[in-house]
């Protein structure tokens, strides 16, 4: 028997509704499959990077002990000296120096934009900071060479032409927009009822920010700090142009140095024979850098979970 032909507006509407729901299910399945595929690509890419680093680091560690690599005080692959401490010390000095610049200034800028700045000022300053974050790193490197270093030489006459202090300053300037923008977002996400309630109880504006807003936004603020530090650890071009390419175990910002990322880039661009120990040093240093960055990200996630549980 043939299917009944819809002869009323209600029947036609029901058929159209079922067809629309079927199309929506197809679209939802397509979106779900696309997002799942993107997740798999991201996961397998990360796993692939780790596997490549591990496999290409093994030949290096078959010739150089892990203890010598981690505790050696000289990095001269041509002379058979593979102590990574000079590279690590320069990386840490650049990172710590930039953090002393970007973290306090970024937090203050974020507080100003979220709590004190008029809307017109905020609408101008925040896009300007985000634009500053998009400036190519090579521009910061030339800024360090032509402006920062000459200024530092007028204060410290004995400073090296390429020095860690200039590198720390330009990296601090580079990461400042990241910290300030994320801090402003974290502070703005705090419900206004919290600081308004503190003010209604007699607290001043500054006290409400210090005792209520900052603790409530602490997870996002700390996450911005860790992200800025991770960015500083991975910076290459500006650091290489400002601090130089000389492995040097030092705690003096006025000396030159070479970071781990700068070594990787500088060595990779040369004509290295594949299979030689110099070739495998790139992967050993890259693996060390990967674990340092991974540790920073895990630390950030720990802080975010801890303080989000307290103030959610």
* The dihedral formed by the CA atoms of 273, 276, 278 and 280, expressed in degrees to the nearest 10: 110
57 inside domain: no
Q: Which of 93, 164, 106, 94 shows the shortest CA–CA distance to 133?
A: 106
Residue 81 counted as domain residue: yes
39 domain residue, yes or no? no
What pTM was estimated for this model as a whole? Answer: 0.81
CA dist 141 and 146 (Å) reads: 9
- Output the average pLDDT for the chain: 84
Domain that holds residue 189: 68-311
Is the predicted pLDDT of residue 201 greater than 90, yes or no?
Answer: no
pLDDT, residue 308, reads 64
277 within some domain? yes
Q: Is it the case that residue 121 has pLDDT exceeding 70? A: yes
Residue bearing the bigger pLDDT, 35 or 14: 35
The DSSP element (H or E) to which 152 belongs, if any, is: helix 149-155
Point out the least confidently predicted range of 147-156, 173-182, 291-300: 291-300
> Is there a domain that residue 26 lies in?
no
CA distance 184 to 110: 4
Specify the pLDDT at position 100: 93
What tokens were used for 101?
């610049």
Average pLDDT over residues 54-62: 89
What gap in Å lies between CA 132 and CA 139, rounded to an integer? Answer: 11
Tokens of 151: 């200024």
Specify the 3-state DSSP secondary structure of 286. Answer: helix
- Residue 5 maps to a domain: no
Q: 269 or 231, which is more confident? A: 231
pLDDT at 8 over 80: no
Helix axes 164-188, 218-234, angle to 10 degrees: 150
Averaged over 53-67, what is the pLDDT? 88
Element holding 82 (H helix, E strand) = strand 81-82
- CATH number of the domain at 280, please: 1.10.3720.10
**Does residue 36 belong to any structural domain of this protein?**
no
The three-state secondary structure class of 292 is helix
Domains in the chain, number: 1
């Amino acid at each position: 028997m043939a299917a009944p032909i819809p002869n009323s507006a209600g029947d036609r509407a029901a058929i159209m509704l079922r067809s629309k729901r079927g199309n929506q299910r197809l679209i939802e399945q397509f979106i779900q499959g696309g997002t799942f595929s993107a997740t798999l690509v991201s996961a397998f890419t990360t796993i692939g990077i780790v596997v490549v680093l591990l496999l290409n680091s093994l030949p290096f560690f078959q010739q150089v002990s892990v203890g010598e690599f981690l505790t050696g005080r000289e990095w001269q692959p041509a002379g058979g000296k593979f102590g990574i401490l000079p590279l690590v010390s320069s990386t840490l000095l650049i990172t710590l120096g930039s953090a002393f610049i970007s973290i306090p200034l970024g937090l203050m800028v974020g507080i100003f934009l979220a709590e004190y700045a008029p809307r017109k000022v905020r609408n101008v300053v925040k896009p300007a900071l985000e634009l500053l974050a998009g400036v190519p790193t090579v521009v910061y490197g030339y800024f360090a060479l032509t402006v920062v270093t000459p200024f530092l030489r007028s204060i410290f006459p004995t400073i090296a032409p390429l020095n860690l202090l200039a590198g720390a300053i330009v990296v601090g300037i580079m990461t400042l927009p990241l910290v300030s923008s994320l801090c402003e977002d974290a502070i703005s996400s705090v419900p206004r009822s919290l600081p308004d309630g503190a003010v209604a109880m007699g607290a001043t504006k500054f006290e409400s920010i210090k005792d209520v807003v900052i603790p409530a936004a602490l997870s996002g603020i700390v996450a911005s700090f860790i992200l800025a530090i991770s960015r500083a650890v991975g910076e290459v071009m500006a650091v290489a142009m400002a601090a130089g390419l000389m492995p040097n175990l030092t705690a003096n910002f006025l000396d030159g140095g070479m970071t781990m990322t700068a070594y990787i880039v500088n060595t990779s661009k040369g004509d290295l024979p594949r299979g030689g120990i110099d070739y495998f040093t790139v992967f050993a240093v890259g693996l060390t850098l990967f674990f340092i960055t991974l540790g920073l990200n895990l630390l950030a996630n720990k802080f975010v979970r801890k303080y989000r549980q307290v103030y959610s």
